[in-house]
Structure 1
Amino acid sequence: MLIKPLLFLSAVSLTGCAGIDVNNYQAEQPELKMEAYFNGQLDAWGMFQKRNGEVVKRFKVVIDAEWNGDKGVLDERFTYSDGTTQRRVWRLTRIGDGLYQGEADDVVGVAEGRVSGNALHWVYTLKLPVDGKEYEVAFDDWMYLQEDGVMFNRSVMKKFGFRLGEVTLFFRKRS
């Protein structure tokens, strides 16, 4: 009789891991068009929080973005609250209807993204420098376009399946 409760717990566990399908946002407006939104200059403000909610670092990002056909480049320049700076250059490719791939020097392999409605879901592994060491951390990254050129971004960071913390950003497209 122990088998039924174990099967139920297994099913619940697997359902919890399934996550949200980006297609749930298909009807949401304004519609996110990557090539239009990530084209030109954008500003972003963000913070990193530990899993207990403590804000560890705040930052500002200035982004110069440009698309040429199915290829895009996002040149991100970070300035952190402790005065340090960082640069990440994303090379994006549209590979199908709503499907994108991205590469950057500190991304392991290829980031995979899908757009539906006002939402973008990215999944990738980032080489994250911490106290002179580098860790490979999995990112589950969700972006939601709002009115007036504003976008919310929430990323959950995990290592070996354990939640390390969250990154929250707000983007604003310059006029």
Structure 2
Amino acid sequence: MIWLCLVSVGLLAGCAGPSLEDYRGKSPELVPDRFFEGELFARGVVRDFSGKVIRTFDADITASWDEDGVGTLDEVFRFDDGATETRVWTLTPRDGGLHATAGDVTEPGMMRWQGNTIHMNYVLEVPYGDGTLEVRMDDWMHLTTPDTLINQTTMSKWGIDVGEVVLVIQRLPVNESQNQ
């Protein structure tokens, strides 16, 4: 009986996943309005439910913050199939985090951070066939150096994982951002 209880507790603990608290005190410290400032460049992959890479992309990101602490991330994605997408995030201070909205985000997210990590969960409308599909995006961003962030996003529909986005975002020095 004790063995069964231990196995059950172990299985439940394994399903819990990480929490932001796990990253308290980790460095380098990730503060959104410091990392997301100026010109950034991203490169990544989109994977289907089986882990197969189905698209690759590059993205240019221009980030700025106003005097009220509201951030704007203007993103332009270029995919390997020739498609381009734009997304403009508005990050508004609220409840100890940043309320995150964009035109194709149907359920806004709340960006929270601790140590070297940001977590955000939201619903995104993505192109699918001749229409669109709403998928839940569970973003985990980890700062590995002061200028490099790794972002892993699990995409799910009806609670079932349907894909993943993995990308690396680099802050560009001023002279490089003018040459991209």
TM-score of the two chains, using structure 2 as the length reference:
0.87
1:9 to 1:138, Cα distance in 2 relative to 1, 3 A = farther
Residues 43-92 of structure 1 deviation map (CA, whole Å, 9 limit, x = unaligned):
00011011211110000000000011320000000000011101000000
Q: Distance in 2 between matches of 1:33 and 1:89?
A: 19
Residues 136-151 of structure 1 correspond to what in structure 2 (within 5 A)? 136-151=134-149
Aligned to 2:172: 174
1:37 to 1:9, Cα distance in 2 relative to 1, 3 A = same
Whichever residue aligns with residue 105 of structure 2, its letter is V
Aligned to 2:94: 95
Q: Distance in 2 between matches of 1:110 and 1:18?
A: 23
Aligned residues: 172
Whichever residue aligns with residue 73 of structure 1, its letter is T
Q: Distance in 2 between matches of 1:52 and 1:42?
A: 30
Residues 107-118 of structure 1 correspond to what in structure 2 (within 5 A)? 107-118=105-116
User: Tell me, what secondary structure is at the counterpart of 2:108?
Assistant: strand
TM-score of the two chains, using structure 1 as the length reference:
0.89
How many percent of aligned residue pairs carry the same amino acid?
35
Match of 1:39 among 34, 37, 40: 37
1:107 to 1:13, Cα distance in 2 relative to 1, 3 A = farther
Q: Does 1:78 align with 2:77?
A: yes
Deviation (angstroms), 1:18:
3.1
Deviation (angstroms), 1:12:
6.2
1:137 to 1:30, Cα distance in 2 relative to 1, 3 A = same
